[in-house]
């Protein structure tokens, strides 16, 4: 009987997690549509297919579903747009023929960040 209750609880937990994930995706998609409608969206430099969303100090991409907690840095979408422009500009000014590739990764243990890399000039820049 205890095993049956454990199975029921596990099933309910899985259903709850799936529901919460669907709700989060719907909120993110709505926020992305709003940003696009406002013309203020920041295209995701990682996937190039969605606009980034900033909610309650968390930066995320609805398409890739990555998240960065940026509360400590007080990063806004406007500030991120400026930082991305600065990284692109600096790379362009270096006359490097390579292409920047962005990713979200654990830059150092316990610290996830958005980084820009260029294989041609060996650039590694932490964007946020």
Compute the distance between CA of residue 114 and CA of residue 95 in angstroms, rounded to an integer.
23
Output the pLDDT for position 38. 46
Compute the distance between CA of residue 89 and CA of residue 109 in angstroms, rounded to an integer.
29
13 pLDDT higher than 70: yes
Compute the distance between CA of residue 80 and CA of residue 59 in angstroms, rounded to an integer.
10
Whether the CB-CB separation of 94 and 108 falls below 8 Å is answered with no
Model confidence band, residue 26 (pLDDT cutoffs 50, 70, 90): low
Pick from 5-9, 54-58, 79-83: least confident? 5-9
Query: What average pLDDT does this structure show over 111-120?
Result: 94
pTM for this one? Answer: 0.67
């Amino acid at each position: 009987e205890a095993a049956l209750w454990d199975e029921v609880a596990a099933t309910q937990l899985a259903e709850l997690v799936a529901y919460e994930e669907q709700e989060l995706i719907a909120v993110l998609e709505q926020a992305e549509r709003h940003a696009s409608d406002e013309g203020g969206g920041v295209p995701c430099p990682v996937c190039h297919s969605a606009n980034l969303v900033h909610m309650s100090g968390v930066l995320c991409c609805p398409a890739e579903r990555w998240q960065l907690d940026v509360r400590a840095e007080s990063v806004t979408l406007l500030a991120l747009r400026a930082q991305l422009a600065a990284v692109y500009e600096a790379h362009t000014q270096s006359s490097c023929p390579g292409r920047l590739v962005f990713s979200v990764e654990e830059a150092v243990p316990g610290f996830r960040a958005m980084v820009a890399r260029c294989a041609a000039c060996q650039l590694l820049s932490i964007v946020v």
